Amino acid sequence: MAKTTLEKWFTPARILTGGFATLILIGGVLLSLPFASNSGEGLNFLDALFTATSATCVTGLVVVDTLTQFNLFGQLVILSLIQIGGLGFMTVTTFIIIFTGRRIGLRERLVIQEALNVNSLEGVIRLARNIVLITVAIELFFAAILAFRFSMDMPVDRAIYYGIFHAISSFCNAGFDLFGNFRSLTGYVTDPTVNIVVMILIILGGLGFTVMVDVWKAPRPEKLSLHTKLVLTMTATLLIAGAIGYYLLEMNNPKTLGPLAWNEKLLAAMFASTTARTAGYATIDYGSLTDASLLWTILLMFIGASPGSTGGGIKTVTTIVILLYVISILTGKESTVAFRKRLDPRTVHKSFAVAVISAILLVTVTFALTLTEDKEFIRLLFEATSAFGTVGLSTNLTPELTPFGRIIVMLMMFAGRVGPVTLALALTLRAQQKAMIKYPEEKLFVG
Amino acid sequence: MAKTTLEKWFTPARILTGGFATLILIGGVLLSLPFASNSGEGLNFLDALFTATSATCVTGLVVVDTLTQFNLFGQLVILSLIQIGGLGFMTVTTFIIIFTGRRIGLRERLVIQEALNVNSLEGVIRLARNIVLITVAIELFFAAILAFRFSMDMPVDRAIYYGIFHAISSFCNAGFDLFGNFRSLTGYVTDPTVNIVVMILIILGGLGFTVMVDVWKAPRPEKLSLHTKLVLTMTATLLIAGAIGYYLLEMNNPKTLGPLAWNEKLLAAMFASTTARTAGYATIDYGSLTDASLLWTILLMFIGASPGSTGGGIKTVTTIVILLYVISILTGKESTVAFRKRLDPRTVHKSFAVAVISAILLVTVTFALTLTEDKEFIRLLFEATSAFGTVGLSTNLTPELTPFGRIIVMLMMFAGRVGPVTLALALTLRAQQKAMIKYPEEKLFVG
Ligand SMILES: [K+]
Ligand SMILES: [K+]
């Protein structure tokens, strides 16, 4: 069957990119309305667009304080953008289509496949339904616990709202908060309930739905897919190593962990390790970290969450594939092996490509920021990496960015959420169909 | 034939690494002698070892000022280390072996092959002899011009010595100077003769001997090898783009290019572009560059010179192979093509591995420096990259490094000169023979 020019132009990568862009634009318009602001005066469009991008791309970098700037309507717009962006708007579209009874064609399935990073066309619809059900169940359960905890600090109706808002924002790894004054969760640095609930939500959201479903269904640990094994191993390793790093690097810093007791230090270090790889909630002041800790955070942010999750970064699987390949070269092995399985050379290739394209993007954006922002280099690198990994941590410089800086960071959040490879494919004019056909054959999802 | 355990242990990678280490140790002992210092008091061993490492690895980072600290004997020790390190001590060994009439066995040839990055075993001996002849001819010719120029500023005997010293140091991309007070070539920022001669020497030295021989012998440009074409294209592109970058980024900086006339700005920008990719001579104060220019320099230093040259970095060919692969992915092409030739997938693989291992090394070293050195992050990253690329540029912090920092930078210069992959192979305990056998089959030299 011959395709029309229009059909050829609408590649999965382009539909995905275009969908995100449309959502952001609608959000930006809504958030700039006087009707969305506490002050009754409309927010300037650039800042409204920045906020919409940050919410849709589940980043959490903010140029205005969410609580002070936006009224309930504005906050609900942000929450909706987070939920749609976090689930992937394609999942939502699929869901609507299923319930309105429309048949799903091959084209739609390809788009969903791209969005969810699922290799086989089969079961995509079932997966989409499962995703929404799992999400709602997890969010409601933990929202209840958070609401209970918050009810000790505020009226019950507000506690329920805060429970729901922060549970969604945590599970989607969005990092938006309603505690005012850009404070994030610093007020709860030593609170076990809030820390543990938020950490569980962040970790679950960062695993990716395929992993959650796989763990749920596998009869024995050995039956888990290679992908799941790699994701679980890397996630555990990064969480523990990250926490040890923060503990050692910040234990004597009077502005961060210094004043805390050893067990509070441990909690804060664990939270910092958990939040860095994509969530973006902060219980300590990142503007006061040592340079070593900033670099530590930059590395964790660059690695990011797992493929198909709500998080960003080059992804855990990409990282472990690269490390395994490097180890195989240095030990003179013929092939790259993980859990007694040989990795497809194309998986290795794609992993390297994702890492290198991401690094080039990160360096370019940081370079652009050094041209207009008169700030310390490491803070600009931190901000750029935070945007790329859709993390949302900041050394408090986001509100101080110049208009040019805001636009650059905004574009970076978008690239980070859509994925640099998908974005590049969307922008490239020719032959992207071929690449699309080539990659789905691969055995692992790497970025 | 069964190999003895000893023969198995002495892999080419280990012989190369061990040879460099021995040379450095001898140099360090000589430079710490009271007999080598102007003051008549011996330099402390750490600083002497640092200087010997910097000279042998043709880096040029200095913790003591070469002119003030060392007398003629000390300076000649440094010059010898530069010349031996620059040519690759293996070439010198080969040369000695040829002239003392000893037969060269397969093992020696493998070592030389590793050192010179030559793929075929044939012609290695001829190449080694050619290298020495080309080197001496080029160095003497340009030393004469430099001596003539310097004779206008100093007595003739000193001008001749300075001509020879700086011609060798330029061609070997070593970056050591005898102008005192860590000034490097800042006194000659607007001098066309010194700038142009030094630039020619740096560029020739950075091309690699195989390229020079290929250009010399090829009847027509089309007959050049793919390697030569890539090296020449990348070198020209990087030189021009680098210069444009410095011009635009520094033209209004009152501490660097600002006070110069437009043509002097151009000369200084061209020199900065030339020196950054591995030479390390400075005509402007790198401590006064803008952050954008520092990052620009870091990128050029990371890329470095061409394979088999006197320079460091991940190398020009590695960089272009990675970029071509990325472009081929983004345009959906099946294979990576350069000058109408398809690149061997293993070449692409190795390029990625070199770049990623180098990046990991760079981040690790920079991280280590942030732990002990209380300096701005970008200056530490700059210093680490300068050591890795055996460049020798510094934002003037080398003499201020703590002992730990000196040791770290010293190790980095060593890793940068030997090559991270070779070093890792030398340190790895098993199966490196296999890897050795695997890689020489490749069509391109990537790092
Ligand atoms: K986030
Ligand atoms: K150098």
List the single residue in B with minimal CA-CA distance to A291: B370
| Ramachandran area for residue A376 (φ above 0: left; ψ -120 to 50: alpha; else beta) | beta
d(CA B369, CA B408): 8
d(CA B125, CA B150): 37
Calculate how far, in angstroms, residue A172's C-alpha sits from the geometric centre of ligand 1. 8
Contact A141, A22 (CB under 8 A): no
pLDDT-derived band at B406 (thresholds 50, 70, 90) equals: very high
Neighbours of A369 (CB within 10 A): 28
Q: Indicate the range of A191-200, A266-275, B328-337, B400-409 predicted with least confidence.
A: B328-337
The per-residue pLDDT for range B251-275, each reduced to its tens digit, is 888 888 888 888 888 888 999 999 9
Q: Are B295 and A332 an interchain contact pair (Cβ–Cβ within 8 Å)? A: no
Distance from CA of A271 to the nearest CA of B (A): 22
| Ramachandran area for residue A182 (φ above 0: left; ψ -120 to 50: alpha; else beta) | left
Contact B84, B92 (CB under 8 A): yes
Distance from CA of A281 to the nearest CA of B (A): 24
Q: Are A290 and B356 an interchain contact pair (Cβ–Cβ within 8 Å)? A: no
Distance from CA of A337 to the nearest CA of B (A): 16
List the single residue in A with minimal CA-CA distance to B352: A352
- Of the partner residues A295, A352, A357, the one whose CB lies closest to the CB of residue B366: A295
Does residue B440 carry a pLDDT above 50?
no
Interface list for A 35-94 with B (CB within 8 A): none
In this prediction, residue A437 carries a pLDDT of 31
Distances (CA, A) of A62 to A81, A172, A366, A399, B13: 14, 16, 18, 7, 51
Contact residues on chain B for A11, CB-CB shorter than 8 A? none
List the single residue in A with minimal CA-CA distance to B381: A378
Length reported for chain A: 447
Q: Are B332 and A357 an interchain contact pair (Cβ–Cβ within 8 Å)? A: no
Tell me what the pLDDT averaged over chain B comes to. 80
Taking the Cβ of residue B377 and every Cβ of chain A, the question of whether any pair is shorter than 8 Å is answered with yes
In this prediction, residue A295 carries a pLDDT of 94
Amino acid code (one letter) for B426: A
Residue with tokens 């959201």: A205
Q: Are A331 and B357 an interchain contact pair (Cβ–Cβ within 8 Å)? A: no
d(CA B186, CA A203): 54
Phi, psi at residue B169, to the nearest 5°? Answer: -65, -35
Query: Any idea which ligand is nearest the CA of B304?
Result: 2
DSSP 8-class letter at B259? T
Nearest to B301 by CA among B356, B358, B376, B230: B358
- Of the partner residues A331, A359, A428, the one whose CB lies closest to the CB of residue B330: A428
- Each residue's pLDDT expressed in tens, for chain A with a length of 447 residues: 455 666 566 666 677 778 888 889 999 999 988 888 888 888 888 999 999 999 988 888 888 888 888 888 989 999 999 888 887 755 665 555 555 555 556 666 566 566 555 555 556 667 677 777 888 888 999 999 999 888 888 888 888 989 999 998 898 888 888 887 788 888 888 888 888 999 999 888 888 777 777 777 767 777 777 778 888 889 999 999 999 999 999 988 888 888 888 888 889 899 999 998 888 888 888 888 999 999 999 999 999 888 777 778 888 888 988 888 888 877 766 667 777 677 777 777 778 888 888 999 999 999 999 999 988 999 999 999 999 988 988 888 888 899 999 999 999 999 888 776 666 666 654 433 333 333 322 233 443
Q: ipTM of this model?
A: 0.83
Percent of chain B with pLDDT over 70: 79
In this prediction, residue A95 carries a pLDDT of 56
Segment (H or E) for A281: none
Residue with tokens 């960062």: A206
List the single residue in A with minimal CA-CA distance to B430: A331
Amino acid code (one letter) for A344: D
Length reported for chain B: 447
Distance from CA of B82 to the nearest CA of A (A): 29
Taking the Cβ of residue A261 and every Cβ of chain B, the question of whether any pair is shorter than 8 Å is answered with no
d(CA A206, CA B130): 58
The per-residue pLDDT for range A257-292, each reduced to its tens digit, is 888 888 888 898 999 999 988 888 888 888 889 999
Distance from CA of A300 to the nearest CA of B (A): 13
Does residue B388 carry a pLDDT above 60?
yes
Helix H, strand E, coil C: the string for A51-102 is HHHHHHCCCCCCCCCHHHHECHHHHHHHHHHHHHHHHCHHHHHHHHHHHHCC
Cβ contacts below 8 Å, chain A against chain B, sum to 121
- Of the partner residues B295, B355, B377, the one whose CB lies closest to the CB of residue A367: B295
- Enter the tokens of residue B239: 């030189």
Contact residues on chain B for A291, CB-CB shorter than 8 A? 370, 377, 380
Contact B244, B234 (CB under 8 A): no
In this prediction, residue B432 carries a pLDDT of 37
Q: Are A296 and B430 an interchain contact pair (Cβ–Cβ within 8 Å)? A: no
List the single residue in B with minimal CA-CA distance to A299: B363
Distance from CA of A204 to the nearest CA of B (A): 28
Nearest to A115 by CA among A77, A78, A86: A86
d(CA B106, CA B122): 11
pLDDT-derived band at B92 (thresholds 50, 70, 90) equals: low
Burial of residue B438 (CB within 10 Å: 0-12, 13-18, 19+) is middle
Q: Are B291 and A329 an interchain contact pair (Cβ–Cβ within 8 Å)? A: no
Contact residues on chain B for A371, CB-CB shorter than 8 A? 292
Contact A307, A446 (CB under 8 A): yes
Percent of chain B with pLDDT over 90: 22
Provide mean pLDDT across the span B404-416: 91
Phi, psi at residue A119, to the nearest 5°? Answer: -80, -40
d(CA B203, CA B196): 10
Q: Are A330 and B425 an interchain contact pair (Cβ–Cβ within 8 Å)? A: yes
Query: Any idea which ligand is nearest the CA of B82?
Result: 2
The winner for highest mean pLDDT among A151-155, B7-11, B205-209, B291-295 is: B291-295
Does residue B351 carry a pLDDT above 60?
yes
DSSP 8-class letter at A188? G
Contact residues on chain B for A433, CB-CB shorter than 8 A? 332
Q: Are A331 and B431 an interchain contact pair (Cβ–Cβ within 8 Å)? A: yes
Interface list for B 381-440 with A (CB within 8 A): 381, 421, 424-425, 428, 430-436, 438
Q: Are A295 and B370 an interchain contact pair (Cβ–Cβ within 8 Å)? A: yes
In this prediction, residue B15 carries a pLDDT of 72
In this prediction, residue B412 carries a pLDDT of 92
pLDDT greater at residue B336 or residue B390: B390
d(CA A442, CA A421): 15
Taking the Cβ of residue A184 and every Cβ of chain B, the question of whether any pair is shorter than 8 Å is answered with no
Strand pairing class (B341-342; A337-338): unpaired
Distances (CA, A) of B424 to B13, B318, B404: 9, 18, 22
Residue with tokens 């960071």: A409
DSSP string, A381-418: HHHHHHHHTT----SS-GGG--HHHHHHHHHHHHHHHH
Query: Which of B328, B329, B334 is best to mutate for the A interface (most A CBs within 10 A)?
Result: B329
Calculate how far, in angstroms, residue B272's C-alpha sits from the geometric centre of ligand 2. 13
Whole-model pTM: value is: 0.86
Query: Any idea which ligand is nearest the CA of B56?
Result: 2
Max distance between CA atoms of chain B, in angstroms, equals: 69
SS3 at position A37: strand
- Of the partner residues A294, A345, A378, the one whose CB lies closest to the CB of residue B378: A378
In this prediction, residue B100 carries a pLDDT of 54
Distances (CA, A) of B386 to A107, A340, B79, B280, B291: 51, 40, 20, 8, 15
Q: Are B326 and A438 an interchain contact pair (Cβ–Cβ within 8 Å)? A: no
Contact residues on chain B for A302, CB-CB shorter than 8 A? none
Burial A305-337 (b: 16+ CB within 10 A, else e): bbbbbbbbbbbbbbbbbbbbbbebbbbbbeebe
Provide mean pLDDT across the span B167-187: 85
Calculate how far, in angstroms, residue B202's C-alpha sits from the geometric centre of ligand 2. 9
Does residue B26 carry a pLDDT above 60?
yes
Burial B115-146 (b: 16+ CB within 10 A, else e): bbbbbeeeebbebbebbbebbeebbeebbebb
List the single residue in A with minimal CA-CA distance to B431: A332
Burial of residue B157 (CB within 10 Å: 0-12, 13-18, 19+) is exposed
Nearest to A283 by CA among A295, A298, A267: A267
pLDDT-derived band at B1 (thresholds 50, 70, 90) equals: very low
Provide mean pLDDT across the span B370-397: 91
- Of the partner residues B325, B331, B348, the one whose CB lies closest to the CB of residue A430: B331
Q: Are A428 and B367 an interchain contact pair (Cβ–Cβ within 8 Å)? A: no
pLDDT-derived band at B417 (thresholds 50, 70, 90) equals: confident
Contact residues on chain B for A435, CB-CB shorter than 8 A? 329-330, 332
Interface list for B 324-363 with A (CB within 8 A): 325-326, 329-334, 345, 348-349, 352-353, 355-357, 359-360, 363
List the single residue in B with minimal CA-CA distance to A420: B330
Provide mean pLDDT across the span B439-445: 32
DSSP 8-class letter at B274? H
